[in-house]
């Protein structure tokens, strides 16, 4: 573009501030053009609006003159943006996201707290969730039968949910995809409820080395019990023999 030559271009309004009377147009040539309301047919532009204009260089960059407003952008709507990882929080809501669907309350327990946490996360994924909210950890001791060996179980409980960031946009494809996703998810959830399927369940697992250690200690504990019983029997027989 020569310094003294105006070129007719098309572009899109990148931003326009009516209260200040100026803004910027992004031309099809990828340049940004300063535009003043006095150069606009009608004196007003809307962000995202298509325009035709004459682009000329100026001491401070490029300027748009004889701007003719074109087609208005589509009305803004709402679209969903998913988190890039599963959310795990003690709060009732995920920060920066809105809870779109609540799928149920589930729990998972293990003698290994990491295993219990991963089990609950997997349950969330299995139910098409992407967030575990209201997470709570409960610990309790447990033993087997008459054994004297106790081990600690870690139980995580939480609300399984699907959360999304709600974005205002004029991208009609994104809006349509979000609406389709919402309807499909809602239908899927209704089908699960009709069939009696629910996420309100739990799972328990004793993991190695805890399971192995528990088995060894349980066996040893029972051996001690049997030895005590055997010892008492021998003492009883010995006393019985003395009485004779």
Q: Considering the entire predicted model, what is its pTM?
A: 0.62
Q: Are residues 117 and 165 in the same domain?
A: yes
Which whole-number Å values give the CA distances from 220 to 16, 142, 153, 199, in the listed order? 80, 17, 21, 39
Q: Are residues 157 and 126 in the same domain?
A: yes
Q: Are 101 and 163 in contact (CB under 8 A)?
A: no
Q: Are residues 46 and 104 in the same domain?
A: no
pLDDT tens sequence across 63-103: 999 999 998 888 889 999 999 999 999 999 999 999 999 99
- Tell me the three state secondary structure of residue 51: strand
pLDDT tens sequence across 158-205: 999 999 999 998 888 999 999 999 999 999 999 988 888 776 667 766
What's the confidence (pLDDT) of residue 217?
A: 60
Checking if the pLDDT of 208 tops 90, the result is: no
CA–CA separation, 133 and 105 (whole Å): 9
**Host domain of residue 83:** 78-205
Q: Are residues 126 and 43 in the same domain?
A: no
pLDDT tens sequence across 210-233: 454 555 566 666 677 777 887 777
What's the confidence (pLDDT) of residue 77?
A: 93
> Is the preceding omega at residue 6 within 30 degrees of 0, hence cis?
no
């Amino acid at each position: 573009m020569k310094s003294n030559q105006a070129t007719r271009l098309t572009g899109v309004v990148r931003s326009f501030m009516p209260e200040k009377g100026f803004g910027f147009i992004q031309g099809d040539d990828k340049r940004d053009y300063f535009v003043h309301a006095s150069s606009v047919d009608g004196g007003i532009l809307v962000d995202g609006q298509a325009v035709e204009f004459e682009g000329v260089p100026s001491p401070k960059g490029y300027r748009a003159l004889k701007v003719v407003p074109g087609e208005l952008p589509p009305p803004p709507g709402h679209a969903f943006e998913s988190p890039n990882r599963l959310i795990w929080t003690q709060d009732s809501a995920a920060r920066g996201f809105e809870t779109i669907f609540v799928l149920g309350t589930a729990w998972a327990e293990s003698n290994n707290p990491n295993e219990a946490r991963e089990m609950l996360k997997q349950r969330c994924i299995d139910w098409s969730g992407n967030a575990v909210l209201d997470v709570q950890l409960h610990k309790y001791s447990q033993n087997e039968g008459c054994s004297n060996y106790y081990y600690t179980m870690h139980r995580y409980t939480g609300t399984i949910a699907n959360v999304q960031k709600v974005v205002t946009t004029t991208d009609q494809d994104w809006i349509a995809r979000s609406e389709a996703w919402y309807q499909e998810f809602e239908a899927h959830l209704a089908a699960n409820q009709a069939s009696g399927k629910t996420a309100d369940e739990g799972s328990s697992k004793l993991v190695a080395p805890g399971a192995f250690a528990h088995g060894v200690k349980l066996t040893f504990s029972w051996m001690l019990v049997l030895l005590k019983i055997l010892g008492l029997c021998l003492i009883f027989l010995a006393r019985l023999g003395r009485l004779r």
